[in-house]
Structure formats: C-alpha cells, structure tokens
Amino acid sequence: MSVMHRFQRMRRRRRWQQWRPFLWVLIVACLVEIALHVSQFHVPVPPIELDTPFYTSCQEPPETPPEYPRENAAIVMLARNEEVDKASRAVRSIERRFNRWFQYPIVFLNDEPWDEEFIHILNTSTSAPTSFEIVPKEEWTFPSWMDTQAARASIQSQGKQGILYAGKETYHHMCRFFSGNFYKIEALKKYKWYWRLEPDVEFSCSITYDPFVEMARHKKVYGFTISLWEEQQTCPTLFRKVSDWKESQGIPNSDLWKAGVDASWVPWPFRSLMSWFSHRDSSGDRWNLCHYWSNFEIADLDFFRSHRYQSLYQHLEKAGGFYYERWGDAAVHSLAVNMLAEPHQVHHFADIGYRHDWYYQCPANAPGGQLPESQALNKVQGSWAREISGGVGCRCECDGRQNRNHASYCLNKLKAPNTAHRPWSTWLESFIF
C-alpha cells in the first residue's frame, strides 16, 4: 500500500472519529424523540375493569308488559321487500330471545314502498308493535351539490377494482344514510335509543334484561358485540378527513382515540412524510382500521344528533367520500365514538350471542346461572350448551368453547381503555398488523 493511500485512510478514520460522537447523539436523540411520541398514545391501564357485563347469568324474564319503566327506544331494521325471508328470520330470532318479554316497537325502513306480503309476514313474526316507514328520497340519493355522473363513474370503477360492495350504488346510499341523518327522520324523532337489527342475523343466547335500561343506568351511549378490521380499500382518506376535523376543533386525544391509532415509529421531521399514505393523519400516525361492527349497535340517538357529530358528518359529506370512495357507516360511527365519547360510555355486550354472515360471538353459559326452574325461559328452550367456568351467557345454544370465529385483536384494542387485564399478544400484534 502506497504512502498516499495510507495517509488518505488515516484522514478518513480521523474524520469518522470526529463525526462519531455527533452521530451517536443524533441516534439517541431520535430514539428519545420516538419514545416520547409513541408514549403520547399510551393507553393507561385502569385499576379495575370499567366495562363488565350488566349481568353474568340468566335473570327471570319480566311480565309482559314490564312492571318497571322502560326506556324510550325502538328496534330498527333497514330492509327491502325481497329480503322478506331474511328479515323474518332475524325478527323471529330477537322475538324468541328478547322481545317476547319486552315488547319494544320495531321500525322497518325501506327506500321503496312496502309490499303487503312483507308487512303481513313480518307482523306475524313478532308480538311487538311495528311500523313500516319509507326513507325520504333526499336521504337516499346523491347530495344535491355532487356531480352524479362523476360519482357513478367512481362507483363503477370501485366495483371493477373488486372493492367490497363498492360497485353497488344503493350500498353507498345506505352507508351515507346510516352515517348521516337516519336518526333525524320523522319515524325516529320520538325515540332516544335504538337497536339496529339487520336481516338474516341470529341471536343464540337469551337476553333476559333490558339493554336500554342498563345502558341508561350506567350512562353508556354506544354498545357493540363484534369488532373487526375495516377493509383498507374502502376508505383510504376517511381517517385523514376525520383527524383533520378533530384537529380543527381542538379536540384532545381521548384514550379511546389512542386505542384506535398506531403511533408512527418514524422520527421527526420525517414522520410527517408518512401523512402522504392512506389511513394516516397529518402527523403520520396510522389508524389501525379497528371498528365496531355496526350491523349490531345499541346507541343513544342523542349522541348522533349532537352538534359535534352533526358538524363532523357535514365535514365528511362535503368531502364526497361516501361516493368517490366507499366510506362505511361502521367506520364513521367508530371514529366518531372514539373521538367524542369517554371510554366508560362504550359497552361491549359480551353476554349476547350474535351472528351476522359468518362472523359470530358466542358467550359460554354461566355455571349455575341458567335458572332451570324458570317457566318463562323453559317455554323458549329446555336445553342449552354446556356451562363453562367464567361464562356470562344465558341459555346459549352455541358452543362457548369457541367464543368467536374471528381475530380478537380489534376487540382487545378497542376495549383496552376499560380493561385492567390485557392480553400481551395485542401489543405484539400491533407490530405485525
């Protein structure tokens, strides 16, 4: 090796030695900054469980009508005439498992006039009062300001891309309706609470208490059974629009909001570059896509009627994403609840056995809590699935040894603010997903 090469090598080594302390300081500073940023999204562990089942065994069903005051509530189903068989199965299921004892009115909604056959069959499927309403035309169409040709072209394009349900114009109308003004239509104005019921759902456990009364008593505003990931392609810009509105209103991060966000591990100032990607806010932090599956929800309608929710909806309406993308009402409701509600106001109905499509939740039956002597319950069924230690269900017919047939990641994430005992796997899965 020549003298010149040795000299150059020594100069490079000295230069590296001069820069090395600075680089170490920079690396440590980046790691500290990342740690501080991620810590802002830490969800504290409560000292006790803040959201437990209202009851963990069967209760003796009340006389009909109940002797104690009920809440101002209705069961609401959006259906079409051709779904008569599916609608009838769902109504018979909730009648058998709940409403035969509580007699809450059922409001049926349709964007078209009802067939007499549908009305007859559904009236014979329940003993509760019913009404059959038509959704106002202005609530089941494109916004007046929107270029309908461009919107329909977008819907057609989404369908060709294989985005779930995105090629169906009526599905976009439905998502906009349930995200926006369903709670303001004349048929529902008189009610404070609603229980959303979909055609072709099944209840596999008896519900022997009044969920509306318990929601009000415990000051809840939103209840759910199943939590899943949203389909990524349906709403690439939704989280950014919601988080931008949240920032403009000066709304702080609640623990529920933090539970739905995965903090970025990219250091400042490069983190903001991540905001160019879908499902990110302006700071580059990512929505984990977890949402409450809104085909079952029991909610306080005043939450949706509130000024803040209405303002958020109008912001989303003007963005056009209900048509230029396929923003779903489940995602909109979930982000709004996580942003505007407190953790103790959200309830997971862990004791309700529920199936929609192929997804289900199946509680185990509570040992010694099935009231075998109850004549009212024995009229519904005389046998039930095995009782399992820790079970909370009432006469569930499904096998509680498999509580659900879908990943529990989103349920664990969204329940975290209320949960004192969290599975460690949720933390690990945050890095995987």
Residues carrying an active site annotation: 297
Starting at the earlier edge strand, list the strands of the sheet with 346-348: 130-134, 106-110, 73-78, 193-196, 298-300, 222-224, 346-348
| Torsion angle of C-alpha atoms 389, 225, 334, 103, degrees rounded to 10 | -130
Tokens of 45: 């562990």
Distance CA 269, CA 213 (A): 50
DSSP letter at 261?
E
DSSP three-state, residue 249: coil
Question: Shortest CA distance to 242 belongs to which of 179, 187, 192?
Answer: 179
* CA–centroid distance for 366 within its chain: 26
Angle at 256 between CA 253 and CA 260, to 5 degrees: 90
Distance CA 338, CA 193 (A): 19
How does strand 354-356 pair with strand 359-361? antiparallel
Distance CA 394, CA 226 (A): 18
Distance CA 410, CA 215 (A): 22
DSSP string covering 286-348: EE--EEE-TTS-EEEHHHHHSHHHHHHHHHHHHHTHHHHS---HHHHHHHHHHHHS-GGGEEE
Q: Which residues contact 390 (CB under 8 A, 6 or more apart)?
A: 364
The structure tokens 């008593």 sit at 217
335 to 196, 240, 312: CA distances (angstroms): 18, 11, 10
